[in-house]
Amino acid sequence: MTIINNSKTDPNKILPFQYPWAREYYKSGVANNWTPEEVSMQKDVEQWKSQTALSDTERRLILWNLGFFSTAESLTANNIVLSVYNHVTNPEARQYLLRQAFEEAIHTDTFIYCCDSLGLDPEDIYNMYKTIPSIDEKDSFVVELTKSVFDPSFSTEGPENIRRFVRDLIGFYVIMEGIFFYAGFAMILALRRQNKMVGIGEQFEYIMRDESLHLAFGCDLINTIKAENPEIWDKEFKDEVVDLIRQAVVLEQRYAHDACPQGLLGINAEKFSQYVEYVADRRLERLNLPKVYNTENPFPWMSQATDLSKEKNFFETRVTEYQTGASLDWD
Ligand code: FE
Ligand code: MN
């Protein structure tokens, strides 16, 4: 049995596990459980309403990121439910996909909660994927890349179709969740380091922890399909993947400049751009492709495994601590 191209509707027997790594991702996902309401937004609301707590640059950056993420989360959710689950037939991999889909629902809920708390106009935030060109370009790039897989008559029979499906997986797991989310993560966490919008900061930390698992699962899934269908991974396809990642880096850098044109707290858009290159190299390595940029990590604090469950309870009103030791290695 392989991870794709078996019966899609058999009541699949999950035991014995054929891909124990997929089972591990499921358990890690469950161990990381959280909900947005556990995070207090009180300080954020005060800062957002105050005339002086945030600069225009900081406000722009927050709006851009809420605008991008609020709709990007639903694109990934659609892809899992409408495409990936349909074509990945192995039961333990599907069990993880169900967990991932739930996490995307939690992320969607986070942006509803943020909009509500700050009193933002949903029309503005949820239309930014249309009104802000650098957001539109990122979403359109992924959607365009994965279009043929959404055709209801699409099947993963034969090398060309398997390649198409792997292109879809790279589009969502590696480019959307693995590159297009990361300038935004870095911006919001940079703000948080200055004690600004700490509620949103903490929520982004939780989202980033979830996304790092999604990305890692996606890479293992892609690498498994490659190993089981080695004929698809030829030079032409590898070159195409590297080219797609280069194009994605350009779009993410454009977004970083657009969301943060004046720089922030001594960090300029150039630094965010370097960070995107550093992240892209790590994604290429994960797919066993050569690095392109060799850029150093300008934000070592982004890769420190921060333990979310420590040193919070005394001063903040956290309801529960679900975390029971899942992976905290974030990028
Ligand atoms: Fe998500
Ligand atoms: Mn995700």
Q: Give the ligand with the smallest distance to the CA of 100.
A: 2
**Does pLDDT of 309 surpass 60?**
no
315 pLDDT band, cuts 50/70/90, is very low
How far does residue 81's CA lie from ligand 1's centre (Å)?
A: 13
| Cβ contact 277:249 at 8 Å | yes
Q: State the Cα–Cα distance between residues 111 and 125, nearest whole angstrom.
A: 9
Ligand closest to 217 (CA) is 2
Q: In whole angstroms, give the CA distance from residue 329 to residue 159.
A: 34
For residue 116, the model assigns a pLDDT of 96
Question: Which sign does the torsion angle of CA 282, 210, 267, 171 carry?
Answer: positive
Query: Does 308 reside within a domain?
Result: yes
- β partners of residue 88: 4
Tell me: pLDDT of 278 over 70.
yes
Residue 100 maps to a domain: yes
Rounded to whole angstroms, the Cα distance separating 191 from 185 reads: 10
Give catalytic residue positions.
113
Ligand positioned closest to the Cα atom of 111: 1
Confidence band of 172 (pLDDT split at 50, 70, 90): very high
Average pLDDT over residues 78-87: 95
> Is 16 domain-assigned?
no
Residues 214-263: tens digit of each pLDDT = 999 999 999 999 999 999 999 999 999 999 999 999 999 999 999 988 87
Pick from 269, 240, 88: nearest CA to 175: 240
Answer for the pair 104, 80: CB distance below 8 angstroms, yes or no: yes
What's the pLDDT band for 266 if we cut at 50, 70, 90?
A: confident
Could you give the 3-state DSSP secondary structure of residue 267? strand
Ligand closest to CA 177: 2
Q: Region 300-326: what's the mean pLDDT?
A: 52
**26/91 Cα distance (integer angstroms):** 12
Residue type, 103: E
pLDDT at 292 over 80: yes
What mean pLDDT, rounded, does the chain reach?
91
User: Is 32 domain-assigned?
Assistant: no
Residue 184 is assigned to a structural domain of this protein: yes
pLDDT at residue 317 greater than cutoff 80: no
Q: What per-residue confidence (pLDDT) applies to 11?
A: 77
Let me know if residue 10 belongs to a domain: no
The CATH number covering residue 53 comes to 1.10.620.20
Q: Quote the pLDDT of residue 287.
A: 97
Q: How far apart are the first and last CA of the chain?
A: 32
Per the domain annotation, does 2 fall within a domain? Answer: no
Centre of ligand 2 from the C-alpha of residue 212, in Å: 8
Distance 123 CA to ligand 1 centre (A): 21
**Whether the predicted pLDDT of 326 surpasses 90:** no
Q: Residue 69: name the closest of 146, 182, 169, 214 by CA.
A: 182
Res 308 pLDDT > 70: no
- By the CB criterion, residues less than 5 angstroms from ion ligand 2 are 76, 177, 211, 214
In DSSP terms, which residues pair with 267 in a beta bridge? Answer: 264
On whether residue 31 sits in a domain, the answer given is: no
Q: What digits encode the pLDDT tens for the residues 71-81? A: 999 999 999 99
- Residue 138: half-sphere exposure toward Cβ, Cα within 13 Å: 36
Q: How far is the CA of 211 from the centre of ligand 2 (A)?
A: 5
* 207 C-alpha to ligand 1 centroid (Å): 6
Across 308-329, average pLDDT: 44
Residue 209 CA to ligand 2 center (angstroms) comes to 10
Question: What domain range includes position 275?
Answer: 41-320
What mean pLDDT is predicted for residues 47-57?
95
CA of 30 relative to ligand 2 center, distance in Å: 14
Q: Starting from the CA of residue 105, give the closest ligand.
A: 1
Report how many domains make up the chain. 1
Q: Which secondary structure element, helix H or strand E, spans residue 313, and what is its range?
A: none
For residue 87, pLDDT beyond 50: yes
Q: What single DSSP character describes residue 315?
A: T
CA–centroid distance, residue 327 to ligand 2 (Å)? 15
pLDDT digits (tens, 9 = 90+) for 191-208: 999 999 999 999 999 999
